[in-house]
Copies of this chain bind each other. A is one copy, B any other.
């Protein structure tokens, strides 16, 4: 727990910097956001900023890292219970969606506002290292053969589009759950059809 030594201004400056920083980064991206503007909006000097954060990037990091840590745990889970929307993956899938909804802003920052930070490419890395592996393994097990990585990537990107929509759409948890299950109708029928066709073709 961060202790808050309430200062002469009578409010928690660090919290204000975080909150305003979030808004500005979301609005203009990391590089587009101006430290001076953030500080002006909070009502402190830019000098004061550097009492709390060593550099601009660290403000961004502070907004993103708690979520990122929890996210990493999630990820290793996913790698084990492969294949999100197949088989009994439905349970896990709903968990993922709930997590994304809960941490909306952090994911927006990571996905779309991180250019210029060390978090740039987070989305790409997640797709390539986590989701791709997970999907590839799961599909190849079912097809009993190799599967074209390009096809896997496409399926992953479609899945990611769902996630993205849950992040940016302002859905309640209930709505999200409802939409997710409707989409499962779609994929529960589509996947077997695809798998069947791939099997017939022999090795891809």
Interface residues of A (CB under 8 A from B): 28-29, 31-32, 115-116, 148, 150-151, 153-155, 157-158, 160-162, 164-165, 169, 171, 175, 179, 182-183, 185-194, 197-198
A169 vs B156: C-alpha distance when bound (angstroms): 13
Residue ID in chain B nearest A204 by CB atoms: B182
A143 vs B85: C-alpha distance when bound (angstroms): 24
Question: Please, which residues of chain B bring their CB within 8 A of the CB of A185?
Answer: 190, 193-194, 197
The answer to whether B150 and A171 touch across the interface, beta carbons within 8 angstroms, is: yes
User: How far apart are A140's CB and chain B's nearest CB, in angstroms?
Assistant: 15
Pick from B28, B162, B179, B190: contact of A186, CB below 8 A: B190
Tell me how many chains of this kind the complex includes.
4
Residue ID in chain B nearest A157 by CB atoms: B161
Other 15 A-B pairs with CB < 8 A, given A32-B115, A154-B183, A189-B192: A31-B32, A32-B32, A148-B179, A150-B169, A150-B175, A154-B162, A154-B179, A155-B186, A157-B161, A157-B165, A161-B161, A186-B190, A186-B191, A186-B193, A190-B190
Q: Which 6 A-B pairs have the closest CB atoms?
A: A190-B190, A189-B193, A161-B161, A186-B190, A157-B161, A158-B158
Q: Which of A151, A157, A185, A188 has the most CB of B within 10 A?
A: A157
Question: Please, which residues of chain B bring their CB within 8 A of the CB of A198?
Answer: 182
A4 vs B193: C-alpha distance when bound (angstroms): 55
Pick from B171, B175, B182: contact of A194, CB below 8 A: B182
The answer to whether A182 and B197 touch across the interface, beta carbons within 8 angstroms, is: yes
Question: Please, which residues of chain B bring their CB within 8 A of the CB of A31?
Answer: 32
